[in-house]
Amino acid sequence: MKATFAAGCFWGVEARFQQLPGVLSTAVGYEGGKLDNPTYHDVCTDRTGHAEAVEIDYDPAKITYEQLLEEFFQLHDSTQLNRQGPDHGTQYRSVVFFHSPEQEAAAKQTIARLTAEKRFSKPIATQVVPAETFWRAEEYHQRYLEKRGALSCHI
């Protein structure tokens, strides 16, 4: 099964999801914009509409989509609009890109539950939108932190 999330800089997001049992593979890239085949340089102009995203292939017998959503909401500040930490711009927005009506419903239910629980002191800014085309980022971005011996970045 496939899941796609955007939660700020994709390097740290990818590293966190790679650690989860049941995650089979990850790729970083760009989703949600209007330019075909964008490059990192294109996306960083803040004019393409893409978010830095992580596409996850997972085994639903080992990890559920709901568990992936829980991790997603724990690993970043979903109340920030178009930014995470020092990074700002629309490419750093918080997004659940759903691949099915079931994923859409699960994401919206999770946001409603977290809001009702008052888990965060501010409203959740995460967008829930249909997955479209995932454009794989340049190879040097794939498993970036692992290649450099880093365990995490600022997320």
Whole-angstrom distance, CA of residue 125 vs CA of residue 93: 8
Mean of pLDDT values over 127-137: 97
The share of the chain scoring above pLDDT 70, in percent, equals 94
**Can you give the pLDDT at residue 1?**
97
Contact 14, 28 (CB under 8 A): yes
pTM: 0.93
When divided into structural domains, the chain yields a total of 1
Report whether pLDDT(47) > 80.
yes
The domain of 78 spans 2-147
Is the residue at 27 inside a domain? yes
**Can you give the pLDDT at residue 149?**
67
Is the dihedral angle over the CA atoms 42, 29, 96, 20 positive or is it negative? negative
Is the residue at 155 inside a domain? no
Average predicted confidence (pLDDT) for the chain: 93
Mean of pLDDT values over 131-137: 97
Whole-angstrom distance, CA of residue 5 vs CA of residue 44: 18
Element (H or E) spanning 7, and its range?
A: strand 2-7
* CATH code: domain of residue 43: 3.30.1060.10
HEC profile for 86-99? CEECHHHCEEEEEC
Task: State pLDDT tens for residues 25-35.
Answer: 999 999 999 99
Is the residue at 152 inside a domain? no
Catalytic residues: 9
**Can you give the pLDDT at residue 151?**
56
